[in-house]
Chains A and B, each alone.
Chain A
């Protein structure tokens, strides 16, 4: 752990030194980026958890859209995935449609939703849902399909109801696959959150701050937004890993 952080800090120090020596406007030193992050977002009053007005107006809407989009994708993906995994017939009917929907690069769907739903939060959340739902759905289906048949036979012998079989056997054996899908979905939803906010005509969000800074050639703010998104991605991924470890451990015992 200490070696990791030493290596990381050494890299940042090197970046600082080189950036100061070169003094290129496109590549501000990390100290300038961190200072900008503080002034932009974290210099608010303690009552607002130190979040500034800008943070409340841009970061929170972004996170809210991402959270809602991901939650809807999880509900749809898990329910449909379980149904598809347990019914080979149903799966055969929708397989070609799913395979095609999955390979469409998600950013291409964003203009489709702009045309159908117009710019705004509905279009942004829909884009996130459609980007994130496939890995959850397909992984859940795969997990549900490969439930040990011996376990299900045993459950039938013990006359467990369908609901009990679902809750006690099918869902727990699907969880490892589901989490693998969730990890992909998480990074896809972050990508689509940013992408849907980068389009011209967006009102707020981290992506909006990025394009706004781009139009003013405000490079420290652009770098600050990128670093913030990196930290966000790292934190969310770590959070999911902790959750996965807890849930899977619980499932085993």
Chain B
């Protein structure tokens, strides 16, 4: 295991050294592609900049809001689709025609209808991130073992009670996976919408404005690093949460 870590660090070091070498030898001009040391120094400096932190905060806020709405709507909808065959039959074709629409294609339309801002961003995030939640919930509920369901029915429990006591808990790991996928998609839409709108607050807005600045390359790259860190943190938190919640299942 420690070997793995050492090798990973060595890999990162080689990459950093190579980028440093390109800059020192002048093969790549510093203002065209800054070396890793410049990018990292800028990224660290940005972490202490309240304006930049406000931008990150705005992105995280719309990410969380959009994801929360997507989960709150996607799980019940997925439950009904997975549990009631008639609803599945009626809704499935419509959903399957809506899902392949690339969500970023809706950015201009939603911006035109709702104007730039949190409402537009959250709407787009909900549209993009509801699919993994909805389809994973529906799949999980449809796969539930019928024996415990029927046992509870025999003991006089109603359909809703069975859904809450059996179907929901046994579909929970699938739902969690859906939420993790949705969280990544939500971040893509949050940053993407901000980059295109180009004004207001947000990590994407910071990157878009840096792109317009004459010597903004290092800011664009430092912003990219922070977007990656955000993605890493979100993914790590959700994987941990899944492991903790479903420890019984992994055995």
Contacts and interface: CB of A to CB of B under 8 A. Distances in A.
Interface of A: 3-5, 7-8, 11, 26, 89, 92-97, 99-101, 103-112, 114-116, 187, 190-191, 193-195, 198-199, 206-207, 210-211, 213-214, 217, 219, 222-223, 225-227, 229-230, 232-234, 237
Contacts, number: 155
B16 to A, nearest CB: 10
A116 B34 CA distance: 11
Contact of B195 (A93, A108, A232): A108
B89 A7 contact: yes
Given A7-B94, A11-B94, A93-B11, A108 B191 contact: yes
Chain A facing B: main interface SS: helix
B108 A190 contact: no
Nearest to B103: A191
Interface string B100-136: 1111111111011100000000000000000000000
B235 interface: yes
Interface residues of B, number: 59
B208 A211 contact: no
Contact of B8 (A7, A92, A198): A92
Most buried by B among A100, A105, A110, A210: A105
12 contacts: A4-B92, A26-B113, A92-B3, A95-B4, A96-B9, A104-B228, A107-B104, A111-B195, A111-B224, A194-B102, A214-B111, A222-B109
Interface string B3-31: 11001111110110000000000000000
Contacts of A211: 108
User: What's the dominant secondary structure at chain B's contact region?
Assistant: helix
Nearest to B227: A108
B94 A8 contact: yes
A207 B106 CA distance: 10
A160 B12 CA distance: 36
Contacts of A198: 104, 107-108, 196
A74 B195 CA distance: 27
Contacts of B14: 93
A230 B220 contact: no
Contacts of B232: 99-100, 103
B32 interface: yes
B76 interface: no
B228 A195 contact: no
B11 A234 contact: no
Nearest to B208: A111
Given A111-B208, A195-B104, A105 B227 contact: yes
Given A26-B113, A93-B8, A111-B211, A226 B101 contact: yes
Nearest to B187: A105
Contact of A105 (B98, B220, B231): B231
A92 B195 contact: no
Nearest to A229: B105
B191 A199 contact: no
Nearest to A228: B105
Contacts of B231: 103-105
4 A-B pairs with least C-beta separation:
A233-B100, A103-B231, A107-B192, A92-B7
A210 B108 contact: yes
Given A111-B207, A198-B108, A234-B96, 8 more contacts: A8-B97, A103-B232, A105-B188, A105-B192, A108-B223, A111-B220, A213-B108, A230-B98
A7 B81 CA distance: 14
A234 B100 contact: yes
B166 interface: no
